């Protein structure tokens, strides 16, 4: 018990030292940010950039925002610059993952990396504090458990984002045949492709909100002046499933070649129905194989017990009488 108490006190000292070190780092970064913000040379360079850009109101608003956030805000920005990926391609891919998972806020990527850092530190600290109190594990096992929990804390947000992405993709995959049929009916009724997309976005949002959100995004981009090809490719990239990618390719090729969009949609709809039927048949053929293990584990032992129980009881009775 005395060794346990000394171990806990040593951990508390380490935790206190880590907290003091973090506070000192934040204070130094805050002072550096403050000094850099008040440096006359930096301010003159910022003025030159502003005058070179025509003195846009956006730069002025950014400077005002910098003044409003204060020292702590600038320190957080410095930490954020260390957390976010430095490579532009990696940063773009990370933003795309967040959008596919349904996190459209500007701060979603910052929160994602911040949670990975916080959970990677908090989980081991909690293990180091709580585990010695509730068990008599050795230092090696406690350290191993803390390391494992640190890895879990780092990768838990990543698994959560991947799970949310798969859920949204499955929702889009389930609602895509209905959206395709509605798009085909709208085009054959005489609507243009842009109007048909807006119509599908308005109608399908009730049954399939995720897919309706993507169609509304395309309609908003088209109304804002973005080209149809770029808007459709952006939707296919954000959803990330094969069905939407093939539809976007067909629509773009029909527009470039001047062929009938209705005919292309009809052929694609027939192909989608055939693929859906083939997937249903594949799942039906896989069902007996998947049912083998539950049948063996759930039905075979009780069946054997029921068959052999009378013989076992008679054997025990004969053995007892003998």
Domain map (residue ranges) of the chain? 1-83, 168-280
Scanning the structure block, which residue is given the tokens 């880590």?
A: 18
| CA–CA separation, 3 and 11 (whole Å) | 12
* Average pLDDT of span 242-252: 87
Q: What is the pTM of this model?
A: 0.65
Question: What pLDDT sits at residue 43?
Answer: 47
> In the 8-state DSSP scheme, what is residue 87?
S
Question: What pLDDT sits at residue 63?
Answer: 43
- Condensed to tens digits (0 to 9), the pLDDT of residues 129-180 reads 887 777 777 777 888 888 888 899 889 999 999 999 999 998 988 888 888 8
Question: What pLDDT sits at residue 14?
Answer: 59
Question: What pLDDT sits at residue 166?
Answer: 93
| CA–CA separation, 112 and 91 (whole Å) | 12
Q: Is 320 exposed, middle or buried (0-12, 13-18, 19+ CB in 10 A)?
A: exposed
Share of the chain above pLDDT 90, in %: 9
- Condensed to tens digits (0 to 9), the pLDDT of residues 45-67 reads 445 444 444 444 444 443 434 44
Which is nearest to 98 in space by CA: 82, 114, 76? 114
Question: What pLDDT sits at residue 92?
Answer: 82
**DSSP letter string, 209-227:** HHHHHHHHHHHHHHHTT--
- Condensed to tens digits (0 to 9), the pLDDT of residues 288-301 reads 888 888 888 888 88
Residue 136, phi then psi, degrees to nearest 5: -110, 45
Question: What pLDDT sits at residue 141?
Answer: 82
* Average pLDDT of span 69-77: 53
């Amino acid at each position: 018990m005395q060794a346990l108490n000394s171990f806990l006190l040593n951990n508390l000292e380490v935790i206190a030292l880590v907290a003091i070190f973090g506070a000192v780092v934040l204070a130094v970064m805050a002072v550096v940010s403050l000094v850099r913000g008040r440096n006359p040379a930096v301010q003159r360079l910022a003025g030159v950039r502003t005058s070179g850009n025509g003195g846009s109101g956006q730069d002025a608003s950014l400077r005002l925002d910098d003044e409003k956030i204060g020292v702590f805000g600038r320190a957080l920005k410095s930490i954020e610059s260390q957390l976010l990926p430095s490579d532009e391609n990696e940063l773009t891919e990370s933003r795309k993952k967040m959008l596919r998972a349904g996190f459209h806020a500007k701060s979603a990527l910052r929160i994602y990396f911040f949670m990975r850092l916080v959970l990677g530190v908090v989980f081991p600290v909690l293990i180091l504090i709580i585990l010695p109190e509730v068990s008599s594990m050795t230092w090696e096992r406690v350290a191993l458990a803390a390391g494992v929990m640190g890895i879990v804390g780092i990768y838990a947000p990543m698994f959560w984002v991947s799970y949310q992405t798969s859920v949204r993709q499955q929702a889009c995959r389930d609602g895509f045949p209905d959206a395709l049929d509605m798009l085909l009916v709208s085009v054959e009724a005489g609507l243009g492709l842009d109007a048909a997309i807006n119509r599908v976005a308005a109608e399908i949002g009730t049954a399939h909100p995720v897919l309706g959100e993507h169609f509304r995004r395309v309609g908003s981009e088209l109304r804002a002046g973005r080209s149809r090809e770029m808007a459709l490719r952006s939707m296919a990239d954000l959803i990330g499933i094969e069905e939407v990618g093939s539809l976007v390719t067909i629509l773009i090729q029909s527009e470039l070649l001047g062929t009938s969009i209705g005919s292309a949609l009809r052929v694609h709809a027939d192909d989608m129905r055939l693929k859906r039927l083939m997937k249903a048949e594949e799942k039906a053929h896989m069902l007996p194989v998947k049912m083998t293990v539950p049948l063996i584990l759930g039905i075979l032992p009780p069946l054997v017990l029921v068959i052999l129980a009378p013989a076992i009881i008679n054997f025990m009775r004969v053995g007892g009488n003998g």
